[in-house]
Amino acid sequence: MSQIRAEHLSKFYPVALKEPGFVGTLRHFLKRRYRQVEAVKDVSFQIEPGEMVGFLGPNGAGKTTTLKLLSGLIYPSAGRLEVAGHQPFKREHAFLRKITLVMGNKQQLIWDLPAADSFRVNAAVYEIPEGEFKKRVAELSEMLALEGKLNQPVRKLSLGERMKAELLAALLHRPQVLFLDEPTLGLDVNAQVAVREFLLEYNRRYRATILLTSHYMADITALCERVLMIHQGRLIYDGGLEGLLERFAPYREVHIQLGKPIEKDRLEQFGEVRAWEGLEARLLVRREDLVNRVSRMLHELPIDDLEVREPAIEEVIGRVFADTRLVTDS
């Protein structure tokens, strides 16, 4: 049985239109006109228990709206939705005990109090017995390397430590489903790595289902074998990272090391020059042309070394959302 199931899920918002100036304000007051914004349009997917799935899309694509629908914060305009055997918008107590939502730009911890005090509030809300509460705090603080930090006021913790404490607070009731919206937002590289390692271990230990949004592609590639990609409210891809490359990146990267300098226009005969500095260059070559172009490079250019690679996933996704033709064709 799927842990998360969305069928033709949609969310529409009426937005009031207002003309500038006094007359526009008066008309807006007397007779408002609205337009309908489609934040999520006919989205369908399933996520199985224990899966870690990345949720990708540019700003305004509908990622956060979808997470709010899944967690029951907002009501769907159309479609069916089930999470952990419940309809999220009903906000039943049994449902709330099974999920958590962590947003990297929001905080639940009280700024001037130690994190441990906020944990006690959560324990009371979720009716966690004292002995079990202490056991869970000890276990999670060890996994997150937060020992000795929980009795300090939250404002005195580093950004990375605060994010770890937010995760601890959100996982204290041991939810089955985790909705994570930019959990590494603003963190330095070391803190990002620590959060990723924790999520991997938490998933392994408790078989939690995780849906993760992030602008840091390293989060997605390190944690998720499957990704959902949304654009302008529509789901345009559901599959593995390798499949994403095959579908949206019909080219390979060719890295070359030259034996002597050449003119850039000579390189442009062989592909799209993405980087060129000194004796090193990086070109994009369409897959169907790869064998012929590489053969010509080796024959016609003063090459000391040549390597063919898959393009970086960040670049692929950037090209997808920059090129509306790719999105339309999908």
Tens-level pLDDT at each residue, the chain (330 residues): 789 999 999 999 888 888 888 877 888 788 888 888 899 999 999 999 999 999 988 888 899 999 999 999 999 999 999 999 999 999 999 999 999 999 877 788 888 999 999 999 999 999 999 999 999 999 999 999 888 889 999 999 888 889 899 999 999 999 999 999 988 888 888 888 889 999 999 999 999 999 999 888 888 888 999 999 998 899 999 999 878 777 777 788 899 999 888 888 888 899 888 888 888 999 989 888 999 999 999 999 999 999 988 777 777 777 777 665 555 555
CA 48 to chain centre: 18
Residue 28 lies in a domain: no
Tell whether 142 and 258 lie within a shared domain.
no
pTM of the entire predicted model: 0.79
Please, are residues 253 and 319 in contact by the beta-carbon 8 Å criterion?
Answer: no
Given a contact cutoff of 8 angstroms between Cβ atoms, the answer to whether 56 and 317 are in contact is: yes
In a domain, residue 163? The reply is: yes
* Structural domain for 58, as ranges: 4-9+41-245
Domain count, the chain: 2
| CATH code of the domain covering residue 57 | 3.40.50.300
Q: Are residues 202 and 262 in the same domain?
A: no
Task: Using CA atoms of 322, 323, 324, 329 in order, give the dihedral in degrees to the nearest 10.
Answer: -140
Does 212 lie in the same domain as 280?
A: no
**26: Cβ–Cβ under 8 A, 6 or more apart, which residues?**
none
Determine phi and psi for 250, rounding to 5 degrees: -80, 40
Contacts of 326 (CB under 8 A, 6+ apart): 248, 319, 320
The answer to whether the CB of 230 falls within 8 A of the CB of 62 is yes
Q: Using CA atoms, how far apart are residues 131 and 184, in angstroms rounded to an integer? A: 31
In a domain, residue 321? The reply is no
The span from the CA of 178 to the CA of 176, in Å, is 7
